[in-house]
Amino acid sequence: MEGWVGVGEVGVDQYISDLHKQSLKTHELAKDMLRSSQKSMKRDCDLCVRKQQKNNVGDLVYLRCNVGKRLKWRGPIVIIELRSDSVYIVKSSW
């Protein structure tokens, strides 16, 4: 294994130790970048969600129906109850 010793005049044990340290640094950097990316994506999503229109009881809305690969809209339909900001109970005539 003479080829290993020629790596900058460093022994195999030192080379493996340095490689392990560099691997740990790379892993920490990747985790930090992932955290940063997640925060950015959450901020962007929260801003988008906050811009959504708030509906109230009595408002007229359209209901999106997926039929196979096609998208259909039904309505207008009256909101009769709010369960949350994005879940409504509606009254349809069909």
Q: Which two tokens stand for residue 56?
A: 């109230």
pLDDT above 70: residue 89: yes
- Three-state DSSP class for residue 65: strand
Nearest-angstrom CA–CA distance, 29 and 67? 46
Nearest to 74 by CA among 84, 61, 87, 85: 61
d(CA 69, CA 71): 7
Bigger pLDDT: 92 vs 37: 37
- Is residue 18 predicted with pLDDT exceeding 70? yes
Average pLDDT over residues 69-84: 87
Put residue 90 in one of left, alpha, beta given phi > 0 → left and psi -120 to 50 → alpha.
Answer: beta
Average pLDDT over residues 22-41: 96
